[in-house]
Chain A
Amino acid sequence: METRGKAWKFGYHVNTDDIIAAKYLNTTDEKELSSHCMETFNADFHKKVMKGDMIVAGENFGCGSSREHAPLSIKGCGISAVIAKSFARIFLRNSINIGLPVIELKEAENIKQGDVLEIDFENGTVLNVTGGRKYSFKRYPEFLQEIIQSGGLMKWVAQKKATK
């Protein structure tokens, strides 16, 4: 699978309150949640992003509250992947569970706002088309690949049940 889009840059320790504030958590609707995504930093973020764009951030992306509404709101904006130097663990689990691609890339800070990126998931590379650089990222351990390839945790559980 390959995907192409523009980079939207954010800093480090971006927490899930930043991604979606608690006052909007009285719904589970992905589209509605997405309309407040990243509002703390960038009003109307959901209107500015194009389908396929990527979020690029520093260390510890998604720290704080366990709200799955955070990756859901990102997915709802049409974001195709989140690239960060590192992820907080609950956000990482949630993203894998709901099928939002998350890529740990130590060179994330070299990517600039607006750079056009191409991600090749098969080969584990991020090509910065604008900057003319190509980066490799480490693929997830086999166990997580299994969940990702099943299409998320619930499908993985269903498949396991079916094969028993």
Chain B
Amino acid sequence: MTLSQQIISIHSGKKSVTAGEFVESSVDLVLANDITAPLAIEEFLKSGSKKVFDPRRIVLVPDHFTPCKDIRSAEMVKVLRDFSARFGVRFYELGKVGIEHALLPEEGLTRPCDLIVGADSHTCTYGAVGAFSTGMGSTDIASAMITGKVWMKVPSAIRFNYHGKRNRYVGGKDLILYTIGKTGVDGASYMSMEFCGEVISNLPMDDRFTICNMAIEAGAKNGIIGADDITENYMRTVAPEAVSCNLEAAGDSDYWKVVDIDVSGIEPQVAAPHLPSNSGDARKYSGVRIDQAVIGSCTNGRISDLRRAASILNGQTVHPGVRCIVIPATPRIYRQAVKEGLIEVFMSAGCIISPPTCGPCLGGHMGVLAKGETAIATTNRNFIGRMGHVESYVYLSGPEVAAASAVRGRICHPEEIS
């Protein structure tokens, strides 16, 4: 069995499962946000249910339109707040709330071998701690809140084996953009993407989160990296009481396909509009003029992302034609960035710092694009109109490329700055 199948079988009370089989699995954590929870709560209340299966295992994170951008968003967050007060489920208030997929791992709520479902497509992020974690819709979440279970079709998997030496400025974002460029946006549809190899074994947690976060952009059900020493060290800091879990090593024959990727030829990547799979060497796009740079999101808003951006922006000035928005993903990351002097670096360079929010990534608020404008963003989607006007353009990259491009006023390889 693949790692994902082993976790599913544990949660389905079965010795083994096979790809294509339908199972009912118990869940360890159920998540929804300010956009998806109101629909789930409506369905929950309509069903007449008097209680949730386990209030400690349900988390509501208002992160998309918060701090509330308008009256109706405020009404939606109120639905979450009231539901939490009535049923005792976890709710993160402003001041404590951060972008869900950075916040929950930091809170120690996502653990190796857990089975996690969330009404947000980027729920696949938690595969980085060795969990089976997948995005669903609001009705699925309503049902899971009542029963503590979800139905699933057991996925087959593609194993991605990364080897070679990473070039300078190449991080998790570049590896996953390159990979999606190879697979296409539906190349892993309904499957697990399991990431391994010497490059992954040496990759820090923040890069692992970035990689698993974007598995959905290849159509995958989940992305996962088997828990190892790096995971255990991380878990000791966020959830010392968490027990370790051991899965059996999976062999290549357990996989539908094994893809070997030599990273030594990979340069910092940029994905051009309007698909995350339109990726290539950042140099290929140098010359594309930008109006805005966004550094943040559930993909790249963690502390090491901010450190990387700051390493480029230190002593530099943002181009006069560019708005550079930096969004620490959680209050804890924000505070750490203050302590380390990163916020000082950003502000000296002429960036503006936003409170933790998904905000501009989905064209919500805090940096929406006008007609004809172009942004480079460390976010995860460059779909038509994703960040604002239908005739606006989003290029995806890692933090160094976004920071360097903010300085030049056009997309560029970070080597141009340092």
Contacts and interface: CB of A to CB of B under 8 A. Distances in A.
Contacts of A93: 136-137, 140
Interface residues of A, number: 38
Contacts, number: 122
B22 interface: yes
Given A17-B384, A157-B147, A66 B185 contact: no
Contact of A28 (B42, B73, B151): B42
A64 B381 contact: yes
How many chain B residues sit at the interface, stated as a range, is 35 or more
Interface stretch (A1-9, A84-92, A116-124): A84-92
Contacts of A132: none
Given A22-B364, A66-B36, A68-B39, 12 more contacts: A15-B381, A17-B384, A17-B386, A21-B363, A22-B363, A60-B186, A64-B121, A64-B383, A66-B136, A89-B219, A93-B137, A97-B143
A90 B383 contact: no
A60 B219 contact: yes
Contact of B146 (A21, A94, A97, A157): A157
B43 to A, nearest CB: 6
A112 interface: no
A103 to B, nearest CB: 17
Given A94-B137, A143-B22, A63 B185 contact: yes
A158 B143 CA distance: 10
A13 B39 CA distance: 25
10 contacts: A13-B186, A17-B385, A22-B64, A40-B384, A40-B390, A59-B186, A66-B136, A67-B137, A88-B219, A143-B151
A89 B190 contact: yes
A110 interface: no
Given A21-B363, A21-B385, A143-B151, A88 B186 contact: yes
B362 interface: yes
Interface string A49-71: 00000000001100111111100
Interface string A18-39: 1001110111100000000000
Contacts of A26: 65, 69-70, 72-73, 76
Nearest to B365: A23
Among B36, B72, B73, which residue has the most Cβ atoms of chain A within 10 A?
A: B36
Nearest to B76: A26
B47 interface: yes
Nearest to B138: A68
A67 B35 contact: yes
Contacts of B63: none
A154 interface: yes
B385 A97 contact: no
Nearest to B364: A22
